[in-house]
Structure 1
Amino acid sequence: MAELTVSRMDFGKFMQGLRQKAPRSSMTTAALHIEVTRQVLDRLERGSPVKLGTMHINGLLDHYEATPEERSAALSLWTEIKEQDKAAKAQGNSKGFWKAYSDQVVPNFERFLRLEKVAIGITAHQPVIVPGLLQTPDYRRAILRINETKRLSAVDLERRVELNEKRQARLGDPDFQLETYLSEAVLRNRAGAPPVMAGQLHWLAEVGARDNVRIRVIPFTAEPHAGMTMQTFTLLELPTGTSGAALPPVVYAEGAIGSVFHEHEEEVYPYRQAIDGLRAVALSENDTRDFLSQVAKEYAA
């Protein structure tokens, strides 16, 4: 349930705010006060599910010296989460769709999938390959085979393709907006055989015509821009919580051997600048579709 995750994130942000303004309080001292680990409190503030009860929440509120108004607001948000928990379990959908594939993804990526599921908008920059939300099944298989040829069984290969297809259900939500910037290198890098590449580029041209999807290519002839020195990243815009507080955007930056989340304003700002730079030099959406179709024909020749 998307609402469940948003509610948890909203509650976590609210509790984080109380902790940060509380006198003589840190995440470590707060965790010790209710006799849990720092990691548990970190998960709570990030909006991840935690095995805590109302007694623990009241203990935190005591430790933070919450006012009666703050306590009432916090417990109201907590009650909302518990009610949604019950409803989700009754409907048999208390776990995200990705849980069935948890053995196929690194732990850090599960958090990204939770954020992707509830984001109202995503801006992605990809200098090397097509991002997962836009990959065709054949292209996805080709990408997976590049590094996983010896370790990945045929069954697990198809499970990962299936997981990616489930993620792409977001593209069918008219309230969800996807903005993607692809280096021309993405079109030229032969991740798969020519028919695979042609099919992938034709799909990009097709899906890019949807009202909620914007795909723009950065040609090799583009002038220097702020996105040029950035690796792969995804900026996720999150909805407003039921408390009325806006949930801050999160950047998921990927590297060759790991990934990291950036959540503080000063960390997110350089990525905003990079996006502005990409917008300034990218081909228009119409020109991008023409270019995609042109390169797809080259592969098909």
Structure 2
Amino acid sequence: MRYEPAVRRRKLGAELRRQRELIGMTSREAACALGWHQSKVSRIETGSSGAKPSDVARLLDVYSVSDPELREMLGALCGAPAPDGSRKRSPGRRGWWYAYRELLPAAYLDFIRLESEASCARTLETTVVPGLLQTPAYARAVTRAALGDPPEDLVEELVRVRMARQSVLAGERPLQLCAVLDEAALRHEVGGRAVMDGQLRHLVRQGALPHVRLHVLPFSRGSHIGITGPFVIFSFARIADLDVVVLDHLTSSLHLERREDLRAYAAAFASLREKALPHEESLAYITAVADGT
């Protein structure tokens, strides 16, 4: 069975409903055009049940949606294979995370799926380096700290997952990542001095990638709107309504999809980025911290 996160089903359903309403068609009319029961259209639009890629394609045909990028994006939300050789899944293959479905909580699987299909991620981190930019040694130390005293084989499995996630930063269409880091994330000696030194220098190398932008919030900038905790905003190409905010907690994650929430977090991130150091100054700042200054 194909695994599709609930947040993606809701996003897909909302966009399909919007496309239907744009042409003035009722859900009953859409169902009749396809020989379906109206309840099937309703379940898809509310996200209460998943939709096969073929069903989504037929709905888009009925709604006269011809834009290939829009069709590809909505297809991705229901698990359709990518039509090209990009970082998205290739035909006939499940996402790499499927092999870890028994190990990872549903909320983490949701997060990975969103991350794998997003075109852009804006993230605030207040105490640790973002997972997409962690070294294996740092990720290992973070995992041990987060789980208390876990078995070593579990630690290694979770570190492998974190390293596999970083594939979104490679390929022809890599994720555009913009991260605001509180200075505390640079100063906490996670795993000891040697591990932290390697992590900071890795941050600088990753920051040199054209699709990665880092902004440090020094302690000297005082309190800021993000002091209450980290968050990630995922954005999807050409469909702003599919954006989602993810808030991480100790035992779960919260997905925010309401437009007012999205606007509030987008404004908060813009404020944080403006308050933080510019990208090049941030890389120099990280280097200085690594050098012990």
TM-score interval (norm. to shorter):
0.7 to 0.9
Tell me the residue number matched to 2:128. 129
Aligned residues: 268
1:272 pairs, out of 258, 266, 274, with: 266
Do the aligned partners of residues 174 and 205 (structure 1) sit closer, same or farther apart at CA in structure 2, a change above 3 Å counting? farther
Q: Indicate the structure (1 or 2) with the bigger Cα radius of gyration.
A: 1
TM-score where L is the length of structure 1: 0.73
- The alpha carbon displacement at 1:147 in A equals 3.2
Do the aligned partners of residues 37 and 105 (structure 1) sit closer, same or farther apart at CA in structure 2, a change above 3 Å counting? farther
Tell me the residue number matched to 1:97. 96
TM-score where L is the length of structure 2: 0.74
Work out whether residues 176 and 211 of structure 2, in 8 Å CA contact, stay in contact via their aligned partners in 1: yes
The residue type equivalent to 1:273 in the other structure is: A
Do the aligned partners of residues 249 and 10 (structure 1) sit closer, same or farther apart at CA in structure 2, a change above 3 Å counting? closer
The Cα offsets for residues 92-144 of structure 1, whole Å up to 9 and x where unpaired, read as 41x11111112332101212211111111111100111111011100000011
- The SS at the match of 2:47 is helix
Q: CA RMSD in A?
A: 4.2
The residue type equivalent to 2:285 in the other structure is: F
Partners of 1:222 and 1:38 in 2: CA distance: 49
Tell me the residue number matched to 1:232. 230
Work out whether residues 217 and 276 of structure 2, in 8 Å CA contact, stay in contact via their aligned partners in 1: yes
- The alpha carbon displacement at 1:190 in A equals 2.4
Identity of aligned residues (%): 27
Partners of 1:237 and 1:52 in 2: CA distance: 21
1:1-301 equivalences in 2 (<5 Å): 12-17=13-18, 18=20, 34=39, 41-42=46-47, 44=49, 49-50=50-51, 70-71=62-63, 73=65, 84=80, 91-93=91-93, 95-150=94-149, 152-173=150-171, 175=173, 176-229=175-228, 231-240=229-238, 246-298=240-292
What are the ranges of 5 or more consecutive residues in structure 1 without an aligned counterpart?
A: 26-31, 62-67
- The alpha carbon displacement at 1:227 in A equals 2.7
What are the ranges of 5 or more consecutive residues in structure 2 without an aligned counterpart?
A: 29-36
Partners of 1:295 and 1:113 in 2: CA distance: 31
Tell me the residue number matched to 2:33. none
The residue type equivalent to 1:276 in the other structure is: A
Partners of 2:122 and 2:53 in 1: CA distance: 34
Do the aligned partners of residues 40 and 100 (structure 1) sit closer, same or farther apart at CA in structure 2, a change above 3 Å counting? farther
Structure richer in helix, relative to its length = 1
